[in-house]
Chain A
Amino acid sequence: MRHIDHKNVVKRMGSRMILNKTFKAIFFMATLFALLSLAILFYRIVSQGIGFISIDFFTNFGSRIPENAGIVAALVGSLWMMAVIAPVSLILGVGSAIYLEEYAKKNKLNDFIRMNIANLAGVPSVVFGLLGLTIFVRALALGNSILAAGFTMSLLILPVIIVASQEAIRAVPKELREASYGMGATKWQTISKVVLPSAIPGILTGGILALSRAIGETAPLVVIGIPVIIQFLPDNLLSQFTALPMQIFDWAKRPQEAFQSVAAAGIIVLMMFLLIMNSIAVVIRNKFQKRY
Chain B
Amino acid sequence: MATSEQTEKLSIQQMIEEQRGKKAKKRIEKSIPIILFLIASISVLTTFGIVFTLIFETIEFFQRVPFLDFIFGKEWLPFSNKEPLFGILPLIAGTLKVTAIAVVVAVPFGLASAVYLSEYASDNTRRIIKPILEVLAGVPTIVYGFFALTFVTPLLQQFIPDLKIFNALSPGIVVGIMILPMIASLSEDAMTSVPNSIRDGALALGATKLEVAVKVVLPAALSGIMASIVLAVSRAIGETMIVSLAGGSTPRFDLDMTDSIQTMTAYIVQVSTGDAGFGTTIYYSIYAVGFTLFLFTLLMNWLAHAISKRFREEY
**Direct chain A–B contact by Cβ atoms under 8 Å:** yes
Tell me if B306 is interfacial: C-beta within 8 Å of chain A: no
Q: Which of A48, A126, A128 contacts B265 (CB 8 A)?
A: A126
Number of A-B contacts (CB under 8 A): 247
Main DSSP-derived SS at the A contact region? helix
Closest residue of chain A to B136 (Cβ to Cβ) is A38
Establish whether residues A96 and B151, one from each chain, have CB atoms under 8 Å apart when the complex forms: no
Q: Using Cβ atoms and an 8 Å threshold, which residues of chain A touch B181?
A: 34
Q: Are B273 and A122 in contact (CB under 8 A)?
A: no
- How far is the CB of B88 from the nearest CB of chain A, in Å? 15
What are the nearest 4 A-B pairs in CB distance?
A: A124-B238, A216-B140, A30-B112, A95-B39
Q: Is the CB of A267 within 8 A of B180?
A: no
Judge whether A135 is part of the interface by a CB distance below 8 angstroms. Answer: yes
Residues of A within 8 A of B (CB): 9, 16-17, 19-20, 23-24, 26-28, 30-31, 33-35, 37-38, 40-41, 44-45, 48, 91-92, 95-96, 98-100, 103-104, 112-113, 116-120, 122-131, 133-135, 138, 155, 158-159, 162, 186-188, 209, 212-213, 215-219, 222-225, 245, 248-249, 252-253, 260, 263-264, 267, 270-271, 274, 278
The answer to whether B36 touches A96, judged by C-beta atoms less than 8 angstroms apart, is yes
Contact A31 B146 (CB under 8 A): no
A45 CA to B145 CA, complexed, in Å: 12
Q: Which residues from A are CB-within-8-Å of B138?
A: 209, 212-213, 216, 274, 278
Supposing A16-B208, A103-B33 touch, asked if A127 and B40 sit within 8 A by C-beta, the answer is: no
Given contacts A95-B35, A245-B140, contact A28 B116 (CB under 8 A): yes
The docked-state distance in angstroms from the alpha carbon of A16 to that of B132 is 32
Chain B positions within 8 Å of A245 at CB level: 140, 142, 241
Q: A131 touching B265 by the CB < 8 A rule?
A: no
Q: How far is A216 from B294 in the complex, measured between Cα atoms in Å?
A: 22
Choice from A126, A134, A158, A267 contacting B46 with Cβ under 8 Å: A158
Which of A38, A126, A187 is within 8 Å of B238, CB to CB?
A: A126
Contacts beyond the supplied A122-B231, A217-B141, A248-B142: 12 A-B pairs with Cβ under 8 Å:
A34-B177, A92-B43, A98-B36, A104-B40, A118-B305, A120-B43, A124-B238, A126-B265, A130-B50, A131-B50, A222-B240, A222-B272
Write the nearest CB–CB distance from B213 to chain A, whole angstroms: 8
Residue in chain A with minimal CB distance to B270? A222
| 12 contacts across the A-B interface (CB closer than 8 A) | A16-B208, A20-B210, A27-B115, A34-B180, A113-B41, A116-B44, A122-B304, A133-B272, A155-B42, A219-B240, A249-B244, A270-B142
Residues of A within 8 A of B300 (CB): 122
Query: In the complex, which of the residues B43, B54, B143 contacts A158, with contact meaning CB atoms closer than 8 Å?
Result: B43
Tell me whether B57 is interfacial, beta carbon within 8 Å: yes
- With beta carbons under 8 angstroms apart, the residue of B42, B120, B144, B293 that contacts A126 is B293
If A96-B43, A187-B29 touch, whether A123 touches B294 (CB-CB below 8 Å) is yes
- On whether the beta carbons of B301 and A217 are closer than 8 Å, the reply is no
Q: Tell me the complex Cα distance, A253–B142, Å.
A: 11
Any chain A CB within 8 A of the CB of B47? yes
In the bound complex, residues from chain B placing their C-beta under 8 Å from that of A104 are 40
A219 to B138, CA, bound (A): 16
Q: When A26-B112, A30-B108, A45-B143 are in contact, do A120 and B46 touch as well, CB less than 8 Å?
A: yes
Question: Which chain B residues in 123-175 approach chain A with CB under 8 Å?
Answer: 129, 132-133, 135-136, 138-147, 149-151
Q: Is there contact, CB below 8 Å, between B245 and A249?
A: yes
A-side contacts of B206, CB under 8 Å: 9
With A and B bound together, what is the CA distance between A17 and B265 in angstroms? 48
CB distance from A165 to the nearest CB of B (A): 11
A38–B297 Cα distance when bound, in Å, is: 27
How far is B220's CA from A276's CA once the two chains are assembled, in angstroms?
Answer: 40
User: Which residues on the B side are within 8 Å of A20 (C-beta)?
Assistant: 208-211
Residues of A within 8 A of B226 (CB): none
List residues of chain B with CB within 8 A of the CB of A130. Answer: 50, 53-54, 268, 286-287, 290
Partner of B141 from A131, A187, A218, A223 at Cβ < 8 Å: A218
Docked CA distance A232–B290 (Å): 33
Query: Which of chain B's residues have a CB closer than 8 A to the CB of A96?
Result: 36, 39-40, 42-43
